[in-house]
Amino acid sequence: MDCLLFTEVLFVYLYRNQLMTQDFRQYKGTFKQFGSIAQIGFYAALSIYPIFLIMKNKQLKSLKWGAVELNTILQFVGKLVRKWHVPFALLSTGVVLLHVNLAILRGFKLDFSYISGMVAALGLLPLLYMGLKRFKRKDHNWHFILAMIFFILFFIHANFS
């Protein structure tokens, strides 16, 4: 994560003059692209929850599609999403921090887009902390609850602003 933050600071430092001289519409498109990349990453990280919810359902475990059981496919996909959940989440968090930095760099406005984005970004901080606690099995299901809250806030920001 430190390397990612260093890369973000270096990106903004090296391209600051170019970013500041861009037309505002072009600049807004630039930081919106970072937001879209983060959105894809967070949806990939969030895919762990429905997969494991389906895996817990006993009725779906016995389903077969031809010679292939649904349970074997779900176990394979479950291993994949478990393996990539943390890297996707951390990379997306870094891209969100860059998105926030670029959004604030040209001036903060009190409109729905900026306020919903700041609330969602602030909701991401306790989620990261509880993710560390989750890794040590000391979160008491808070990581899941905060993930759902963040998902709702993030969805509102991404789709209604």
Confidence of residue 68 (pLDDT cuts 50, 70, 90): confident
Cα–Cα distance between 122 and 80 in angstroms, integer? 28
Provide the token pair at 55.
């895996």
* φ, ψ for residue 136, nearest 5 deg: -95, 5
Task: Answer whether residue 4 shows pLDDT above 70.
Answer: no
pTM of the shown model: 0.82
Say what percent of the chain tops pLDDT 70: 97
Cα–Cα distance between 109 and 17 in angstroms, integer? 21
Which one-letter amino acid corresponds to residue 135? Answer: F
Cα–Cα distance between 105 and 25 in angstroms, integer? 14
The residue count of the chain comes to 161
Please state, as a whole number, how many other Cβ atoms lie within 10 Å of the Cβ of residue 134: 19
Residue whose tokens read 């905060």? 146
